[in-house]
């Protein structure tokens, strides 16, 4: 068989400059030299890329710190909390409002009032004056607190929200009048009292119309009745605004009447306007030509004087302004005079 004994070491052949290299070794040397040059080139490129990446990272860190400093720090918005209800001193008019605020406080913090006993204790802690005296007498023992919240509220209302308060609210609704207020302002007061009265819709609409001024009632009489109270209120607000705009339009369409306003009469006979005194008829063109041609007075038809000195002519007077008459009434009065075709010269009022 084959001998497996170690063979003696055979040294590599030595080459010298004089020893010619085989062609394959020369080719391998040239190839490896080219690869070595490429590897060195790649290493240089990688080092340059690494340096550029480090510079870019440092630049991004600077930008991030700048943006972090420039961004305003927003504090977390605090949770909205209702304020405590005002203390209740036992006034019947404030009873419902006090209980309403307490119920809002319970709904805002349900975890703080898990049972009826906590709610009752909170309401008792907000009492003062006569209301506190009642609570001390009514809930003197701890066992007296063993009632439901609904039962407590019912008893609380029986004590402090007296029956006459309900009647007062109903009477107050009937006594409401618009007066000098705008319909929009009046409707707010009416809504408040209407909510407390608990009247039905038809009764509320009747009470609302009854409280309106006569001008609004006259306008409503020509229109169909709205189906709801809200529609009625919107309609009256629209009517009120339209009436106000109409008054302003009339106010600017005619000159205001002042204490210096006069009714000026023609001063010469050459005026083309014939006299139009109350009780006289307008002259025909033939009659006017006859009086002018006969040198007669155009006003009365007599001779010996002119229109300016006619004894039958009523002297022009100043139109007085009454302090008790409004500006709008003065304008209506002037329009009435024009409709009657009074002469510029009228009798003194």
Do the domain assignments include residue 40? Answer: no
Nearest to 204 by CA among 170, 181, 165: 170
Do the domain assignments include residue 308? Answer: no
Q: Specify the pLDDT at position 217.
A: 92
Do the domain assignments include residue 263? Answer: no
| Residues 154 and 179 placed together within one structural domain of the fold | no
Do the domain assignments include residue 201? Answer: yes
Nearest to 347 by CA among 293, 289, 279: 279
Structure tokens at 56: 């870019």
Do the domain assignments include residue 102? Answer: yes
Structure tokens at 328: 């709008």
Q: How many helices (H) and strands (E) does the chain have?
A: 12, 0
Q: Specify the pLDDT at position 206.
A: 92
Q: Specify the pLDDT at position 149.
A: 92
Q: Specify the pLDDT at position 265.
A: 43
Q: Specify the pLDDT at position 10.
A: 52
Do the domain assignments include residue 191? Answer: yes
- Of 203, 238, 253, the one marking the end of a domain is 253
The residue behind tokens 């529609």 is: 231
Output the tens digit of pLDDT for each of the chain's 349 residues.
455 555 554 554 555 555 566 677 777 777 777 777 888 788 888 888 888 888 888 888 888 887 877 666 666 666 677 889 999 998 888 898 999 999 999 998 888 899 999 999 999 999 999 999 999 988 887 777 788 999 999 999 888 886 555 566 677 788 889 999 999 999 988 988 888 777 888 999 999 999 999 999 999 988 888 999 999 999 999 999 999 888 877 765 545 444 444 444 444 444 444 444 434 456 777 787 788 777 788 778 787 777 677 777 644 333 344 343 344 444 444 444 444 433 443 333 3
Nearest to 261 by CA among 327, 204, 193: 327
- Of 210, 232, 253, the one marking the end of a domain is 253
Q: Specify the pLDDT at position 240.
A: 93
| pTM exceeds 0.85 for this model | no
Nearest to 127 by CA among 155, 109, 102: 102
| Residues 211 and 175 placed together within one structural domain of the fold | yes
Structure tokens at 19: 């020893």
C-beta of residue 226 within 8 angstroms of C-beta of residue 202: no
**Cα 95 from Cα 128, distance rounded (Å):** 13
| Residues 136 and 171 placed together within one structural domain of the fold | no
**Cα 303 from Cα 305, distance rounded (Å):** 6
| Residues 169 and 157 placed together within one structural domain of the fold | no
Q: Specify the pLDDT at position 32.
A: 77
C-alpha separations of 6 from 1, 2, 3, 10, 195 in Å: 15, 12, 9, 12, 119
> Which CATH number do you get for residue 249?
1.10.1200
DSSP tag of 308: G
Q: Specify the pLDDT at position 60.
A: 87
Domain of 191 in residue numbering reads as: 165-253
- Of 208, 235, 253, the one marking the end of a domain is 253
**Cα 298 from Cα 287, distance rounded (Å):** 9
């Amino acid at each position: 068989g084959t001998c497996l004994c170690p063979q003696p070491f055979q040294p590599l052949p030595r080459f010298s400059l004089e020893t010619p290299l085989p062609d394959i070794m020369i080719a391998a040397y040239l190839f490896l030299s080219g690869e070595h040059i490429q590897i060195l080139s790649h290493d240089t490129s990688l080092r340059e890329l690494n340096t550029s990446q480090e510079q870019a990272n440092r630049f991004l860190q600077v930008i991030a710190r700048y943006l972090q400093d420039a961004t305003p720090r927003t504090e977390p918005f605090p949770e909205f909390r209702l304020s405590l209800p005002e203390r209740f001193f036992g006034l019947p008019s404030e009873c419902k409002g006090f209980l309403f605020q307490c119920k809002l406080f319970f709904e805002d913090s349900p975890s703080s009032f898990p049972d009826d006993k906590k709610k009752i204790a909170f309401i008792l802690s907000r009492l003062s004056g006569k209301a506190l005296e009642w609570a001390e007498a009514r809930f003197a023992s701890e066992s007296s607190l063993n009632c439901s919240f609904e039962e407590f509220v019912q008893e609380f209302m029986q004590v402090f929200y007296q029956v006459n308060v309900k009647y007062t609210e109903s009477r107050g609704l009937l006594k409401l009048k618009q007066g000098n207020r705008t319909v929009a302002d009046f409707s707010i007061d009416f809504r408040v009292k209407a909510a407390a009265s608990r009247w039905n819709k038809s009764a509320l609409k009747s009470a609302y119309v009854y409280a309106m001024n006569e001008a609004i009632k006259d306008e409503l009489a020509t229109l169909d009745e709205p189906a709801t109270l809200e529609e009625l209120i919107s309609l009256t607000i629209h009517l009120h605004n339209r009436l106000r705009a109409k008054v302003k339009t009339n106010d600017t369409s005619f000159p205001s009447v002042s204490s210096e306003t006069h009714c000026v009469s023609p001063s010469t006979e050459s005026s083309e306007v014939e006299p139009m005194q109350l009780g006289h008829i307008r002259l025909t063109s033939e009659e006017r030509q006859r009086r002018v041609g006969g040198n007669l007075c155009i006003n009365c038809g007599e001779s010996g004087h002119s229109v300016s000195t006619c004894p039958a002519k009523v002297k022009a007077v100043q139109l007085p302004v009454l302090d008790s008459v409004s500006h709008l009434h003065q304008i209506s009065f002037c329009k009435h005079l024009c409709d009657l075709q009074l002469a510029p010269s009228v009798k003194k009022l």
